[in-house]
Every structure is written in structure tokens, then in C-alpha cells.
A = this chain, B = another copy of it.
Amino acid sequence: MTDNNATLITIITEAALETTLIKDIEELGAPGYSISNARGKGNRGLRDAAWEANSNIRIEVICSDIVASKISEHLEQKYYQNYAMVCFSAEVNVLRPKKFN
């Protein structure tokens, strides 16, 4: 495995934000993203995906650490206060790192 690092940033938030958030993420320079459906619980209570208003999504973005910082700052400013959202990141080894930088 080529030892080439990139940052994986994961966002778990309300499904209603999908369209808006993807637009933001792409504008901040993310080279791509992946989404799956989720449910969960946190500060803002239970979100059990019983219906759309109550569903979460889990977004993953592999990108450079600079873009990752931009994304997490942007989320903190624009969404953290009013939306159910958590965000975490870690270093990962990627195949073909150029794809993500």
C-alpha cells in the first residue's frame, strides 16, 4: 500500500441538510463525497429515522487536511448551533492520493 495520507472527515447530521451541505462541501474544495443513511441520538435527542424529518445522514469526505479544516470550520459556523450534527476526522492511507489533493 502506498503510504500516502489524506484526511477522512465524517459528518453525521440531519437528512434535510443533504442538498445544502453537499453544495457547501464541494465549493470548499472537496474532490468527492460518500453518503449513507443513519439514525442516532445526541444532544438534540433521538433521531430514529421513523420519517424524513427524523432521519440522519452520514457523509464522508476524503480530502487534504486543509480542505478538511475549511469544512469543519464552515460547519461549526453555519450549522452547529441550529442543527443536529457531529463531525470528526482522522488520517487515512489512500490509494492514488492525487485524487484527493
Contact = CB atoms under 8 A, between A and B. Distances in A.
A53 interface: no
Interface string A34-68: 11111111110000000000001010101001001
Contacts of A69: 1
Contacts of A37: 36-37
30 contacts: A1-B65, A1-B68, A1-B73, A8-B90, A12-B34, A12-B60, A31-B43, A32-B41, A32-B42, A32-B43, A32-B86, A33-B41, A34-B86, A35-B38, A35-B39, A35-B40, A36-B39, A43-B99, A62-B86, A72-B95, A76-B95, A86-B95, A87-B95, A88-B92, A88-B95, A89-B92, A90-B90, A90-B91, A90-B92, A90-B93
